[in-house]
Amino acid sequence: MYNKNVAYFYDRDVANFHYGESHPMKPHRLALTHSLIINYDLFKKMKVYKPRRASLEDLIAYHGKEYVEFLQRVAPDTSAKETSKFNIVGDCPGFPSVYEFCQVYAGGSIDAAHKINHKDADICINWAGGLHHARRDEASGFCYVNDIVLAILELLKYHSRVLYIDIDVHHGDGVQDAFYLSDRVMCVSLHKYGDGFFPGSGNTDEIGRGAGRFYSLNVPLHDGVEDAQYQSLYEPIIQAVIDKFRPDVIALQCGADSLKDDRIGVFNLSLYGHAQCVEFVKKFNLPIIVMGGGGYTIRNVARCWAKETALLVDTPIAMDIPFNEYFEQYAPSYQLHPPPLYHFDNKNTPQYIDDVRRTVLEQLRQLECAPSVQMHYVPKDFFMEDLAEDEDSYDSNGDFSSENDDLKVDRGDEFYDNDRDIDHDTANRDDYCY
Ligand SMILES: [Zn+2]
């Protein structure tokens, strides 16, 4: 009998925001993911919540007020001087309702932290979150507000030590920066590093500063890393971190752009290899918040996060994709595990992998021990005042019990699958640097 209490956060509105034509970040991937989760009947194994939307007050727990107020009012006619000040340019466009988008995805992660804090759940899932590049006062790498930092700040009100793990293909720079001086948050990121790959940070020499020295661990990898190599780093490093740092809670960013055949990523991880990272963390029996992140071949993002949801609720799922409103996306195989299309040359030699492992484990050995934290004043929770009356949940048919038609998510094909969409076109992968 599986005894974990799993909470899943989803607001169907999140899938309808649109970064712009041909932009690789497609919130629509969340509709595909949710549809698989529903049609695999996984919603029956967890509590499904529509998260509250983060308020300005919630967001300025980390972000600058001027920046958040700018997100509220940015519009097509906003001056270039202003948009460039906050980096709402280029790949971080000020698209319509961008602030509302932030409220939804950040609200899910904050709500998840709240549930963990109050022991209302053992595992929380917010696939809409995980936007790890956002900075205090500017957008970066498709990310506007950093829901992970906001969730960890919330967790720190009730927990002494938080372990952050990032398996996105990109370095978790925004989260690392936020806690670079802290010994209460250990940030571990495995990512592609070098060749000008975004964001350009994340070498092994970034270890934290001051009290935070040795509380940032970076595992830089080259193109084409395979499952076995990845696990030969991930498992011993995470095991050593758990033993030494002794976290009370884990925040896991599951960016799916580290999968093989991602439109932007450069790794060769299979769904098995990616999910193994989740499985490994789950074994420690600590509370976990699981978030999404990157992921730009949207059919594979949905496959990955559905598989990982199944794993988190301890329920095996069929290899055949169940019929759902996006079924044709999974052609021609209609299988959970996609047939691989492209294989990157693996530039990680066994010697390189051994050297990185040795370096990182040596850094960990220099950690004194888990810091003890005296908890005094507990700040006010986000959302505390409206906790009781605002929890929507799904009934046994997978419908919101409070809004029965809430599951009928628009396909939104007019935005995503037209001729100009390049989601199936790997030839254009070099057009994007993130
Ligand atoms: Zn990424």
Q: Where are the alpha helices (DSSP H) in 86-179?
A: 98-117, 147-155, 173-178
Domain membership of residue 114 (yes or no) is: yes
Domain membership of residue 102 (yes or no) is: yes
Domain membership of residue 76 (yes or no) is: yes
CATH number of the domain enclosing 105: 3.40.800.20
**Centre of ligand 1 from the C-alpha of residue 429, in Å:** 14
DSSP string, 202-236: --TT----GGGTT-EEEEEE-TT--HHHHHHHHHH
**Centre of ligand 1 from the C-alpha of residue 81, in Å:** 27
**Centre of ligand 1 from the C-alpha of residue 223, in Å:** 14
Average pLDDT along the chain, 434 residues, taken 10 residues at a time: 93 96 96 98 97 98 98 91 94 94 98 98 98 98 98 98 98 98 98 98 98 97 98 98 97 98 97 98 98 98 98 98 98 93 94 98 87 63 46 45 33 30 34 28
Q: Which domain holds residue 175?
A: 6-372
Residue 49 near residue 383, CB atoms below 8 Å? no
Question: Catalytic residue positions?
Answer: 133
Nearest-angstrom CA–CA distance, 112 and 122: 10
Q: Which residues lie near ion ligand 1 (Cβ < 5 Å)?
A: 168, 170, 255, 257, 294
Nearest-angstrom CA–CA distance, 144 and 414: 25
pTM as predicted: 0.88
Domain membership of residue 228 (yes or no) is: yes
pLDDT at 236: 98
Domain membership of residue 207 (yes or no) is: yes
Q: Where are the alpha helices (DSSP H) in 118-167?
A: 147-155
pLDDT at 368: 74
**Centre of ligand 1 from the C-alpha of residue 170, in Å:** 4
Residue 240 near residue 364, CB atoms below 8 Å? yes
Give the chain's domain count: 1
pLDDT at 374: 60
pLDDT at 397: 42
Domain membership of residue 401 (yes or no) is: no
Handedness of CA 282, 284, 290, 295 (dihedral sign): negative
Domain membership of residue 351 (yes or no) is: yes
pLDDT at 399: 44
**Centre of ligand 1 from the C-alpha of residue 337, in Å:** 21
Domain membership of residue 39 (yes or no) is: yes
